[in-house]
Structure 1
Amino acid sequence: MITVELEHFSLDKICDSGQCFRMQKLGNGHFSMVAGDQYLEMHQEKGVVDFYCSQEEFVCYWVRYFDLDTDYEEYMKVANPRDKYLNAAIKAGDGIRILRQDLWEMIVTFLISQQNNIKRIRKCIETICRTYGEKKISSGGVEYYAFPTVTALSGATEEELRGCGMGYRAKYIAVTARMIESGEVSLEKIYDMRYHRAKKELLKLCGVGEKVAECICLFALHHMDAFPVDTHIHQVMAAHYKRGFPNRRYKGMRGIMQQYIFYYDLYS
């Protein structure tokens, strides 16, 4: 177990932030998470966080995953003091981190997320993981399933994916998996691209539109200028930023501002 004291870090808010759908609240400050093929249990009491993993796993995987080396106070203190809405959103969302998640997992996750609610997204993801992912056992004896590989999902038919509850998104997943498996779109190359180029490449994938591409850019590629606009964000922009969000002021950090706003609109 690794115990660390962290500022501006909240497992509870991260779990509710709409970035990851394989993180579970176990009660009394305890959480579990499956990311890719990794399993982790955590506990938080105020600023003290216990990560139930080895030192090597913590340093090599989870520090980067939770973006622990970034000082989020630097983002928070640049807010325009006259922007009462954004300051309230930052206060409410203090503790959220922009996770560094697997690109393939985020592509499939946000294809599934379209016109879907969080409960159903979680269920759909768990179903395809159990159907196509590798069964694993954690060091603590917990059984879980890794996220399916590109190869595994490229072999799935649209009909089979519909049977997993994907609905019309089954076609998007099946075609996208085959595009990547064939090399028509390269995940390795996307990792090396800058924000706008990466977004353009992601838009080639079946079912990936503007909002999904922005989510993937932010939550997988950590392009902090990505700014996903869903119904919640659209309504906030219409109510509080009629002239548009002040992008120039928040260049290089628009993504975290979006997350604070999203969380505040959803839970305030």
Structure 2
Amino acid sequence: MQVTIKDDFDLEKIIDSGQCFRGKCLEDGSYRFISGESVIYLRPEDREAGVYTVSCDRESWETTWFPFFDLERCYSEIAVLESGKHEFVDQAIAHGRGVRLLRQDPWEMLLTFIISQRKSIPAIIKSVEALSEKYGHDIVTEQERLKAFPSPEEMKEATAEELAACGLGYRVKYILDAIQKVNSGELNLKAIAKLPDDVLLEKLQAVMGVGIKVANCIALFAYGRTACVPVDVWIFRAIEKECGGISPFSLYGENAGIIQQYIFYYERGVIGRKD
């Protein structure tokens, strides 16, 4: 099936934007994404016109992948609306156009961003795949056999030794705490979706090892809270070096989290490589 996306949409940039760790560009030029039990392969046919061949049917595209890629939101309009407020941010927006926020599974984001602390992106990917291989169940497509990211139930009996073998280091105790809290119902990841941003962030930080940065990552990438701004090493660096130590995010209101993604992509991919 073919789809036409008439908005900013760049799969390479999305994969390289530090928000998802299971998206992949394959040797044949197509792109693969996994969401829960679902897998999609997208092949660009006409990038200028936004035409892609996708491996799913119309119903799956509309119910699973349209929301996953946040296609109900017009990013080209946001880029125009938010330009002209800050010189450096304007550069980041121009360079990052094509990045979109993915709406990912809250449990996967909780564990992934606990793992992400003090790890490079390749190391995060390695640990996420190790967890999936160890605890996840098979997903078989026409192209390959994959592993789903494991559910809380599938990880219920995980041991510290097994998790350490997945390269989690000091984060093992944090992952065990997340498993316990979610399986016991102490943290209901579905129920907290209804909470306002500040309360949502507070609930997420009840998990051992989840500070404000990780909580903001989960809020932004799992719950679509676009006013939330995770400040990692790249964003901190951008604020200090490119913005004179003054955070620009108050200028962008409900779009601040989207602007954060443009800045992350630009700072890490362009500014960081110059130094």
Q: TM-score, structure 2 length as denominator?
A: 0.93
Which residue in the other structure is 1:114 paired with? 117
Displacement of 1:17 after TM fit? 0.4
Displacement of 1:175 after TM fit? 1.3
Displacement of 1:4 after TM fit? 1.6
Which residue in the other structure is 1:185 paired with? 187
1:82 and 1:220 mapped to 2: Cα distance? 28
Displacement of 1:101 after TM fit? 0.5
2:2 and 2:82 mapped to 1: Cα distance? 33
Q: Which amino acid aligns with 1:58?
A: W
Maintained 8 Å contact 1:66/1:98? yes
Which residue in the other structure is 2:152 paired with? 150
2:108 and 2:5 mapped to 1: Cα distance? 29
Displacement of 1:28 after TM fit? 5.7
Identity of aligned residues (%): 36
Which residue in the other structure is 1:62 paired with? 65
Displacement of 1:96 after TM fit? 0.6
Q: Which runs of 5+ in 2 are unaligned?
A: 271-275
Which residue in the other structure is 1:160 paired with? 162
Displacement of 1:244 after TM fit? 2.6
Matches within 5 A, 1:1-268: 1-27=1-27, 29-44=29-44, 45-46=46-47, 47-81=50-84, 83-138=86-141, 140-242=142-244, 244-268=246-270
Displacement of 1:102 after TM fit? 0.5
1:83 and 1:141 mapped to 2: Cα distance? 45
Maintained 8 Å contact 1:2/1:53? no
SS in 2 for 1:105: helix
2:182 and 2:129 mapped to 1: Cα distance? 22
SS in 2 for 1:33: strand
Displacement of 1:115 after TM fit? 0.6
Displacement of 1:50 after TM fit? 2.0
1:73 and 1:125 mapped to 2: Cα distance? 32
Q: TM-score, structure 1 length as denominator?
A: 0.95
Cα shift readout 1:24-51 (whole Å, capped 9, x = no counterpart): 1114641112222211111124122222
Maintained 8 Å contact 2:86/2:248? no
Q: Which sits farther off after the overlay, 233-242 or 243-252?
A: 243-252
Maintained 8 Å contact 1:2/1:51? yes
Maintained 8 Å contact 1:218/1:224? yes
Maintained 8 Å contact 1:133/1:145? yes
- The alpha-carbon distance between structure 1 residues 48 and 162, as it changes in their structure 2 partners (threshold 3 A), is same
Q: Which runs of 5+ in 1 are unaligned?
A: none
Cα shift readout 1:220-266 (whole Å, capped 9, x = no counterpart): 00000110101111111012333633444311000000000000011
SS in 2 for 1:34: strand
SS in 2 for 1:222: coil
Q: Which amino acid aligns with 2:147?
A: Y
Q: Which amino acid aligns with 2:148?
A: A
CA RMSD of aligned residues (A): 1.5
